[in-house]
Amino acid sequence: MLKSGGHIDRDTEVITVQNVSKSFGDLHVLRGVDLHLFKGENLVVLGRSGTGKSVLIKLISGLLKPDLGTIEVLGEHVDELSEKELQQLRLKIGFSFQNSALYDSMTVRENLEFPLVRNKRHLSRGEINHEVEDVLDAVGLLHTINQMPSELSGGQRKRIGIARTLILRPEIMLYDEPTAGLDPITCIEINGLINEVQEKYKTSSIIITHDLACAKSVGDRIVMLLDGKFEREGEFDQIFDTDDERVKPFYDYNFIT
């Protein structure tokens, strides 16, 4: 059963994607897509590998420019911003990468301190310590504060990566395949953490995944990317209540017994 979507403001869009297309040479990845993320919502973008899910995140963050269409994030038209303005906008967007993107030569504490020291230089040592300990506690890993990434499990590194993202208190979270490469029990823990982050930090999130268990656990709403377009939208059971031959094998791959 889908989680209940509490605290969602459906009158306020924090991300608006309109008629966006993106191609790489002869490869047409996105073909006139529309997407709306509401304040406080966990939106799952579901699709097979190579369908353009990660390209969508790069377009939203301004790392790529659309060939056609417009993208608005927190009231800003992304494609019209200067590089300096983009950097300011990105401080309000948290990115959780597949590989956690931790610095192997830094302790957990140092990994979390890095974005604070770089972007909030007015903070005192005491304030930095408080922020680091707060987000580590939020992901249940305060005891790892002096460990190196190499000493952590894959699930722990994923949690630390999310903590490092949260330390700047972003308004939007973008999760790219958050459960990729993790065992089933750890996947359940990460799904729970995504929901806890939404509740505690009042984030609005896009979760990119092809993991249906993840989609079912964290999505207030799900959209499915098929052949470069969002062909299906709704709750989990609505998405898969179809005879569409592009959809059924995807479900069978995840849940066949």
Which amino acid appears at position 128 of this protein?
I
Q: Considering the domain 11-92+170-255 in this protein, what is its CATH number?
A: 3.40.50.300
> Residue 32 has what pLDDT?
95
Rounded to whole angstroms, the Cα distance separating 180 from 140 reads: 20
Per-residue pLDDT of the chain (257 residues; tens, 9 = 90+): 456 555 899 999 999 999 999 999 999 999 999 999 999 999 999 987 777 888 999 999 999 999 999 999 999 999 999 999 999 999 999 998 777 789 999 999 999 999 999 988 889 999 999 999 999 999 999 999 999 999 999 999 999 999 999 999 999 999 999 998 899 999 999 999 999 999 999 999 999 998 899 999 999 999 999 889 998 899 988 888 888 888 877 777 665 44
CA distances from 187 to 43, 157, 213, 215, 217 (A): 18, 13, 9, 11, 10
Residue 201 corresponds to which tokens in the numbers above? Answer: 């930090």
User: For the chain, which residues make up each domain, given as ranges?
Assistant: 11-92+170-255, 101-169
